Amino acid sequence: MIDSSKSEVNMSQRKSKFRLSPPLTALIVAFILFLLSGLLPNGFNTWQTAVNQGLNILRLASFIAIIGAGQTLVIISGSEGIDLSAGSVVTVGALMTYMFINGNNSLILPILLLVLVMGASVGLINGLGITYLKISPFVMTLGMAGVVQGALILWTKGYYDGEVAPIMTNIIARDLIFGIPGMIFVWIIIGIAITLLLTRTRFGKHLFAIGVNRQTARLSGVNVNAMVVLTYVLAGAMAAFSGFLLVGYTQNAGPNLGNQYLFPSIVSVAIGGTQMSGGKGTYFGTIAGAIVIQLITSLLTTMQLPQALQQIIFGSLLLGILVIYGREKSLRM
């Protein structure tokens, strides 16, 4: 039982030869869902509408996936890692961009830096609380979500006025080349960066090590506390960056902009086959998961189901995925 995580890794490696990996399954499901959505009354009837609809779904999925990038990192880091402050951080990042840039192209870079620092500091507090004060990640980040939201209310005093810079609109919201939105290129760059970070760097190697077993990681010379703090800092910065991108797309910001992306981002990580207990996962999976989530959302929206029902469906979906992928460490030996 003690070395279950190790044998599990071996087992899953062996198994993957015989069965589809979670990300691939997710992509196939996504494709089927996409075809299904074409069968709806107001679905696509020509190639052009199909391509447009596909691109649109990819664009919407990109926001879930970029918030999910930070979430993937903290979940891989193990010990019930999760970042529930991401939603509030996205909102604050978006509002800072919106209100401070105020339509001024020359302010984009300094404000982007400020936004990243904001996200990183929230992540730093999360990380310090989790490592040194031993607060469970869920509770710590949920508490910080409240603090960030409170700071937001105090800062804006309910008054949201600003404008997105024209360059941001051009890059993020409009089509860049061949009718493909710029956001998708941003997403591809982030996707490659995160994947390289996870697979090719020492950080990635150590991240999986602390996710599998912190004790053994510590004994083999990994500075576990520093790794955990750094992971939450990265996640915070990623969430803030998502806010920056999101407001470039929506062109408008309000006090609840980010919260609606929090749960989907976590579900997308789970769909992508990243183990919720840590130590195993890919960013490619999260990307596939985000596309599935966005397709389901679009399907439910075209079917005009109420928001509440979507919530129930996503909750049940997460439960189902956890049962399928996540069974492990049961006490009944």
Binding site for another protein (CB under 8 A): 1, 80, 82, 129, 132-136, 138-140, 142-144, 146-147, 149-151, 153-154, 157, 263, 266, 270, 276-277, 306-312, 314-316, 318-319, 322-323, 326-332
Indicate the residue among 14 and 134 with the shorter CB distance to another protein: 134
3 or 328, CB closer to another protein? 328
Closer residue to another protein, CB minimum distance, 143 or 162: 143
- Token digits for 172? 């993020």
SS3 of the chain: CCCHHHHHHHHHHHHCCCCCCHHHHHHHHHHHHHHHHHHCCCCCCCHHHHHHHHHHHHHHHHHHHHHHHHHHHHHHCCCCCCCCCHHHHHHHHHHHHHHHHCCCHHHHHHHHHHHHHHHHHHHHHHHHHHHCCCCCHHHHHHHHHHHHHHHHHHHHCCCCCCCCCHHHHHHHHCEEECCEEHHHHHHHHHHHHHHHHHHHCHHHHHHHHHHHCHHHHHHCCCCHHHHHHHHHHHHHHHHHHHHHHHHHHHCCCCCCCCHHHHHHHHHHHHHCCCCCCCCCCCHHHHHHHHHHHHHHHHHHHHCCCCHHHHHHHHHHHHHHHHHHHCCCCCCCC
Please report how many Cα atoms fall inside a 13 Å half-sphere around the Cα of residue 238, on the Cβ side.
Answer: 29
Closer to another protein by Cβ: residue 103 or 146: 146
CB of 124 to another protein, least distance (A): 14
- Minimum distance from residue 79 beta carbon to another protein (Å): 10
CB of 252 to another protein, least distance (A): 22
Kindly state the smallest distance separating residue 144's Cβ from another protein, in Å.
7
Identity of the residue, 143 or 204, whose beta carbon is nearer to another protein in the bound complex = 143
Minimum Å distance from CB 150 to another protein?
3
Minimum distance, C-beta of residue 263 to another protein, in the bound complex (Å): 6
Task: Please say which residue, 210 or 245, places its beta carbon nearer to another protein.
Answer: 210
For another protein, the closer of residues 32 and 312 by Cβ is 312
Please name the residue that has the structure tokens 């024209």. Answer: 166
Q: State the sign of the Cα–Cα–Cα–Cα dihedral 297, 300, 301, 305.
A: negative
Q: Greatest CA separation found in the chain? A: 62
**Residue among 205 and 329 whose Cβ is closer to another protein:** 329
Q: Provide, rounded to whole angstroms, the least separation between the CB of residue 4 and another protein.
A: 11
CB of 228 to another protein, least distance (A): 14
